[in-house]
């Protein structure tokens, strides 16, 4: 069975984007651990635990995970070729 590369990339991008958005807002509202946000801050330039940071993190997350999932799906399809 082959993976649909576009759908897999889009799903991964949306999932990670939404996760970073929610993680940031939990930090803005004072819930959860600040450690997770600090880790994300070290990877994404301009990201911070703030309302604008939630948008920046969501955009970075969408492209980061989207590209990663596309590469994973392409590799998977290549290795499972029959």
Domain segments of the chain as ranges = 5-79
Percentages helix, strand, coil for the chain (3-state, rounded to 5) are 75, 0, 25
d(CA 68, CA 61): 10
- Output the CA–CA distances (angstroms, integers) from residue 68 to 8, 24, 33, 54, 59, in the order listed: 10, 21, 26, 21, 14
pLDDT in tens, 58-76: 999 999 999 999 999 999 9
pLDDT in tens, 13-44: 999 999 999 988 988 888 876 777 778 888 89
Task: Locate 45 and state its tokens.
Answer: 């330039």
d(CA 71, CA 63): 12
CA atoms in the 13 A half-sphere facing the CB of 8: 15
């Amino acid at each position: 069975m082959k993976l649909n590369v576009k759908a897999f990339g889009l799903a991964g991008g949306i999932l990670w984007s939404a996760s970073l958005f929610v993680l940031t807002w939990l930090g803005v509202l004072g819930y959860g651990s600040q450690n997770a946000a600090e880790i994300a801050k070290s990877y994404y330039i301009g990201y911070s635990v703030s309302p604008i940071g939630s948008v920046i993190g969501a955009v970075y997350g969408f492209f980061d995970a989207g590209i990663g999932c596309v590469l994973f799906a392409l590799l998977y399809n290549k290795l499972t070729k029959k």
